[in-house]
Structure 1
């Protein structure tokens, strides 16, 4: 068995985790407030913040886990996909830490890790299961046959669901990060107040670019007719947009479950923290007789615990990498 240090630095959160024999002992996350005034993540600023945060975060993770550096037997890290500069910081730290202590390195695919986050706590999914992975950069339906036997059976043709939430927030004048604010306001609104189009995409793939455009034109036209439209209808707009995004996601998920005859269904990624998605999924599960798996909030957004658990399963099968490894902004699934 093993004690593993894991590093996550794919975007704008620096995170470190300690995993011992498959149990997460610590999961420390440092967020980056520097991006708020720009309305989105600035890659150069993100990589600089990772440089400032990585050592304190790792020290905090080790301290919280109540272990010593000498107890660590392997180092796992996010190789990709993500922002190249951000990935470079985490990869370089992991390589340096491992080299100084002659420890094996474990590279982890960020998207695999989101799915394997379901194996941190009980209840754990049974194979095979479908995982709807939704974030700011990805929207995928993945057929998971084993820990490392995964197949993308549906994905977005253009923009991700998380990006649609964030773009909506920006159109509505909400501060960054806007997705959680849309969710919060939607809880107070009427999801049937306004109607937004559903993309007609064949198969199991998604598209959100057209929906974003329709929201932009809707707000523009309403504001022309009534300058106070947003102020008077903010919660209803958020609820209606959230309803459309979630129904698009779950319609395809239902189609996939029926197509592959799978009754165990999971969600993962930052958007899996959305309360609307969680509630609609539970409602659909009751209708379709699914067994549903929803991760704890702390394991939905980018975090090192998911890298640690993925690293643990790779450690068990001796899947290590060398010091010549480089990060990848785009990484094959």
Structure 2
């Protein structure tokens, strides 16, 4: 039986998992950093990378213990080396290289975005390719044509903020805390999604499979505080206004995501849609996609909540590479690439 240790450190979650060639998860651990970044209203890259350094070895040790295996039982080491925050990626990659060298095991590089879609394969228990892949998270809003687990063709993506990034920033405006996605969803449950008229950027443009959430975020700010005026203390906002704005904003984002996903299916003729990433945990979004899939007779796959946010279980995609003999040398490097994390205001890319 083949056993692979997978390592995930692309942003602010330190995670590891041991998975066998039947795609059975023998052990998995995720160490969250939410408490470190909460007071900044977003992920601070330097803090994230330092936390990874402190946690990576304990997380690996705990994972092996949960799996009931030792390092000597492993057949390969896999690590997400793209895309992500540079400092965070480096921690995971150095740990993986060290283990691969010391144990004389094959090293496998993982594309974090492909892994998010592969989470749908894990949840389904059967092949889900080819499909249209929609990745919606704090750093990504991307659409892909996925012929196989490892063959992705970009069809479109965000031209500015990612959906999860916009959720976090609007939640900050409303005084809802970090991470913003879950907090904003809770607030929206008490609000009226029709209370505020907000734009749906690019939704009516059938020629483009792209998203834009920066203008939507700005529209929320203007509705709350007025154009050209400084942002006021969120504590002064009426609780019902906060709920209504949260609901209205959430509805606008869902309309954009659902509309472009359906457009991608129409343009390609595909009848299968796989959705991954943290925003895929949003309950109203999941419900909307389920309704659309049923109405259009689309095969829809969305992972359970535990596999939507960053984790090492989705690193099971490494088994696809292992079986194909696609290994890396110790010269493997990171590629920060498309990552646009929900950074704290004033940080490098916030």
Tell me if the contact between 2:191 and 2:240 (Cα under 8 Å) persists in the aligned partners: no
TM-score (norm 2): 0.90
- Calculate the aligned-residue CA RMSD, in Å: 1.9
Q: How does 1:136-155 map to 2 (within 5 A)?
A: 136-155=138-157
CA distance in 1, matches of 2:24, 2:115: 15
The runs of 5 or more residues in structure 1 that have no matched partner are: none
Which position in structure 2 is the counterpart of 1:272? 280
Tell me if the contact between 2:97 and 2:107 (Cα under 8 Å) persists in the aligned partners: yes
CA distance in 1, matches of 2:249, 2:283: 14
**DSSP-derived class of the 1:26 partner:** strand
Which position in structure 1 is the counterpart of 2:10? 10
**Are 1:231 and 2:239 counterparts?**
yes
CA distance in 2, matches of 1:169, 1:121: 30
CA distance in 2, matches of 1:20, 1:301: 22
- Quick one: which of 286, 299, 304 aligns to 2:307? 299
- Quick one: which of 192, 210, 222 aligns to 1:217? 222
**DSSP-derived class of the 1:99 partner:** helix
Q: Give, in angstroms, the shift of residue 286 of structure 1.
A: 1.7
CA distance in 1, matches of 2:44, 2:237: 31
CA distance in 2, matches of 1:189, 1:232: 7
The runs of 5 or more residues in structure 2 that have no matched partner are: 340-350
Distance verdict in 2 for CA 1:125–1:162, change over 3 Å:
farther
- Quick one: which of 268, 292, 304 aligns to 1:284? 292
Distance verdict in 2 for CA 1:230–1:132, change over 3 Å:
farther
- Quick one: which of 316, 319, 323 aligns to 1:312? 319
Q: How does 1:58-69 map to 2 (within 5 A)?
A: 58-69=60-71
**DSSP-derived class of the 1:14 partner:** strand
Q: Give, in angstroms, the shift of residue 143 of structure 1.
A: 1.2
**DSSP-derived class of the 1:120 partner:** helix
* Count of aligned residue pairs for this structure pair: 330
Which position in structure 2 is the counterpart of 1:329? 336
CA distance in 1, matches of 2:332, 2:222: 46
Which position in structure 2 is the counterpart of 1:31? 32
CA distance in 2, matches of 1:79, 1:7: 9
Tell me if the contact between 1:107 and 1:311 (Cα under 8 Å) persists in the aligned partners: yes
